[in-house]
Amino acid sequence: MRQGKTIWLIDAAYLFNAQRSVSPAFNFDYLKLRNKLEKLGCINRTYYLNSTQNPPSDAQNAFNTWLKTARPDGPQFIVKLYELKEDEYRCPHCSSMLSEQIQKGVDVGIATLIVKLAHQQNYDNLILSSGDGDLEDAIVHVKEYLNKRIELCVFRYGVSPNLQSYSDKVHWINDFAMEVVK
What's the CATH fold of domain 6-180? Rossmann fold (3.40.50)
Q: CA torsion 101→104→110→112, rounded to 10°?
A: -160
Q: What pLDDT is attached to residue 56?
A: 79
Sketch the domain layout of the chain as residue ranges: 6-180
24 to 76, 129, 153: CA distances (angstroms)? 28, 20, 20
Q: What pLDDT is attached to residue 86?
A: 60
Mean pLDDT per 10-residue segment, the chain (182 residues): 88 95 93 95 96 84 96 96 71 69 78 98 97 96 97 95 96 96 94
Q: What pLDDT is attached to residue 3?
A: 82
